[in-house]
Amino acid sequence: MDWVTFLILFPLIPAVLLLFTKKNYEAQKWIVLISSILIIIGSIGLAVEQIGHTGGFRYISSHFTNNLVMLGDVIVALVFLYICRSLPLKKYWIPLMVVIQYGLVLYYDFAGKMPEMNRYIFLDNLAVIMALVIGIVGCLIAVYTVGYMKKYHEHHHEIPDRSHLFIATVFLFFFAMYGLVFSNSITWIYFFWEITTLCSFIMISYSKTEEAMNNAFRAVWMLLIGGLAFAMGIIYAANVCNTIDLQLLLASKKSLVLVPILFLCFAGMNKAAQYPFGGWLLGAMVAPTPSSALLHSSTMVKAGVYLVLRCSPILQDTDAGAIIALIGGLSFLAGSALAISQRNAKKVLAYSTIANLGLIILCAGIGTPFTLSAALLLIIFHAVAKALMFISVGSVDNATGSQDIEDMYGLCYNMHRMGIIMIIGISGMFLAPFGMLISKMAVIQALALRNPIFPPIVIFGGSLMLFFWTKWMGYLIAITDKKPVEYHKDIGIEWIGLWGLAGLTIISVVFYPYIGKLWIVPMYGECPLFSEGVQLTILLMLVMMILPPLTIVARRRNVVFTKPYLAGVNVEEKGEYLGSLGASRSWSFRNYYIEKYFSEKKLLNATILSSLILWILMFVMENVMS
């Protein structure tokens, strides 16, 4: 048995085992720990094995596996319909979408209209890097989930404890993700694709509250639109192009396969929450935090960008590719701007996810080797830092009962370790020399050559990002007058996930040139980003970054402590000052959210409208031309 089969099938074992561990925390913990370690070993083993190779197929000639996938399709379709049973009649179109897309695909399957193929598995470095991201980041989140869910139910007694189901879903997610990135048959990808939709439904609806159910169904119908596009892509490919072999499609003449590829890209961008479909990702926030961490970082949305990246050879130098890049750019700008006006930490993170995914889509739409290298780096760095941010917000929420950034004022003072971890995460998201910024630099360099539209988009979006991350970071490091309250004594196994991801955020910056040389360069060719000059400067900056913690550790002499200036005599104990009438007066401070310009009310509709126009423009253009 090779690593690929192991990685696809193994997650099913813990997924099934966990179903029998209702309220058995110890059993959950050990199952998750052991299988996480195995999955991480598997991912790394696969990556090491793949060094020096560029890509290869696995042939499966027996029909058995393919029949199994068909059976799986039937089961998934039935599960979808089962879920929809609780829907009111007026939402008949949700099950209708299920029926239409599965009807089409299954009809073709059973009528034998699908073209024959035997190259079911395709393994190249893109799949390897995805496997690493899924395995390492995903498993750290899984370990965190065990501890988090225990505390979640201690705080939310009203919600029935079905945490075993939740964690089992996490592993089902891994199964679907691994299947998705290794498959070469688009019907197989479709099968795994819909399982991820199903998993996200289970996670979002976890608490069974009305809001959770609404948002879960919103996610389902939005994602089913993508599924529908995917199904149409399959049918078109089977009928017109006469193949469902993805690599064969990608190697065909552009004009011939552009339409099915565009359908797949549509599905990918739908899953990556690009506008106009950004809504489902925001709604997914109601779920327990680990699910957000999982959906936003290593799974789900990354499946979307993965598919678009896969298709990028066809998109390169086409008008459709340019429009896809524009839609990505639009999501990048809109997501960054909208994040400024949000107070809820998870919402800020969600919008920044949409923004960063937009940047990746932008790179994929341009499709030059340089932008693709940058996109891969973005995938890696974003997964690590975003997962870290989500799980730390989750732990803060468990400890303080609030996700409001305004309540995080002085967090470093109250929760030292958690504060430091969050600062590492935020730095990873936007500050030089950490990952996301390196990648953003790569994107600017890669785009600068080509035209005057895309670099300004990246630059403006990046500046907006700088704004909301810095103001959040400033809140964390503030030192308040109040005595610190030690919150995190009850964080247990979560530390593995927290410190693991925090460490990864830093380590990935040090080792990114090696990731580049071993896996990215063989695939996309040399890229100036891995040149020694840039590397050296980045390392230098990283060393400089050690200074702030060092200076904090070093005790300095001759320091005289004083009180902040408050335009009046300070009242020592309370952090207040004496007003003109001799009464002690308090002061308070709220951050800028600039709702006048960046609120959802101002921006959301315009964004959705313009993205819709771009999509329509693209499909119309393609039809006119072909």
Q: Which of 475, 512, 519, 530 binds another protein (CB under 8 A)?
A: 475
Stretch that binds another protein, among 127-135, 168-176, 285-293, 540-548 (CB under 8 A): 540-548
Tokens for 469? 């991350």
Using the minimum distance from each CB to another protein, give the nearer residue, 432 or 617. 432
3-state SS assignment for residue 195: helix
- Judged by CB under 8 A, does residue 551 bind another protein? yes
- Judged by CB under 8 A, does residue 561 bind another protein? yes
Q: Which of 85, 253, 483, 556 binds another protein (CB under 8 A)?
A: 556
- 8 A C-beta contact, residue 446 and residue 371: yes
Peptide bond into 288 cis (omega under 30): no
- Which residues inside 414-433 make contact with another protein, applying CB under 8 A? 431-433
Using the minimum distance from each CB to another protein, give the nearer residue, 174 or 598. 598
- Supply the minimum distance, in Å, between the C-beta of residue 342 and another protein: 16
- Judged by CB under 8 A, does residue 579 bind another protein? no
- Quick note: the x/- pattern for another protein over 394-413, rule CB under 8 A, is ----------------x---
Tokens for 316? 């390169």
- Judged by CB under 8 A, does residue 63 bind another protein? no
- How many angstroms separate the first and last alpha carbons of the chain? 45
What is the longest distance spanned by two Cα atoms in the chain? Answer: 89
- Judged by CB under 8 A, does residue 52 bind another protein? no
d(CA 509, CA 563): 39
- 8 A C-beta contact, residue 107 and residue 237: no
- Supply the minimum distance, in Å, between the C-beta of residue 424 and another protein: 14
Residue holding tokens 């925090």? 502
- Supply the minimum distance, in Å, between the C-beta of residue 273 and another protein: 25
Stretch that binds another protein, among 171-179, 269-277, 283-291, 588-596 (CB under 8 A): 588-596
Site residue total, another protein (CB under 8 A): 58
- Judged by CB under 8 A, does residue 104 bind another protein? no
One-letter amino acid of 201: F
Environment class of residue 407 by beta-carbon count within 10 Å: exposed (0-12), middle (13-18) or buried (19+)?
A: middle
Q: Which of 565, 573, 580, 582 binds another protein (CB under 8 A)?
A: 565
The Cβ-side half-sphere exposure at 91, using a 13 Å CA radius, reads 15
Sequence-ordered list of residues with C-beta below 8 angstroms from that of 401, at least 6 positions apart, any chain? 155
Nearest-10 crossing angle of helices 186-204, 210-236: 170
> Among residues 447, 302, 440, which one has the least CA distance to residue 359?
440
Using the minimum distance from each CB to another protein, give the nearer residue, 554 or 583. 554
Using the minimum distance from each CB to another protein, give the nearer residue, 62 or 562. 562
Element (H, E) at 203: helix 186-204
Annotate 486-511 with DSSP letters as a single string. Answer: --GGG--THHHHHHHHHHHHHHHHHH
Q: Which of 78, 96, 544, 620 binds another protein (CB under 8 A)?
A: 544
- Supply the minimum distance, in Å, between the C-beta of residue 19 and another protein: 47
Stretch that binds another protein, among 115-123, 158-166, 281-289, 550-558 (CB under 8 A): 550-558
> Among residues 84, 170, 100, 187, which one has the least CA distance to residue 135?
170
Residue holding tokens 């910056």? 509
For residues 419-445, one letter each, b for 16 or more C-beta atoms within 10 angstroms of the residue's C-beta and e for the rest, the string is bbbbbbbbbbbbbbbbbbbbbbbbbbb
- Judged by CB under 8 A, does residue 559 bind another protein? yes
- Judged by CB under 8 A, does residue 23 bind another protein? no
Using the minimum distance from each CB to another protein, give the nearer residue, 119 or 417. 417
- Judged by CB under 8 A, does residue 533 bind another protein? yes
Tokens for 439? 């990648």
Q: Which of 181, 436, 464, 498 binds another protein (CB under 8 A)?
A: 464
Q: Which of 591, 602, 617, 621 binds another protein (CB under 8 A)?
A: 591
Using the minimum distance from each CB to another protein, give the nearer residue, 325 or 538. 538
- Supply the minimum distance, in Å, between the C-beta of residue 17 and another protein: 46
d(CA 612, CA 279): 14
- Judged by CB under 8 A, does residue 537 bind another protein? yes
- Judged by CB under 8 A, does residue 587 bind another protein? yes
Residues in the site for another protein, rule: CB under 8 A? 410, 431-433, 437, 441, 444-445, 448-449, 451-452, 455-456, 459-460, 462-464, 466-467, 470-471, 473-475, 477-481, 533-534, 537-538, 540-541, 544, 547-548, 551-552, 556, 558-567, 575, 587, 589, 591-592
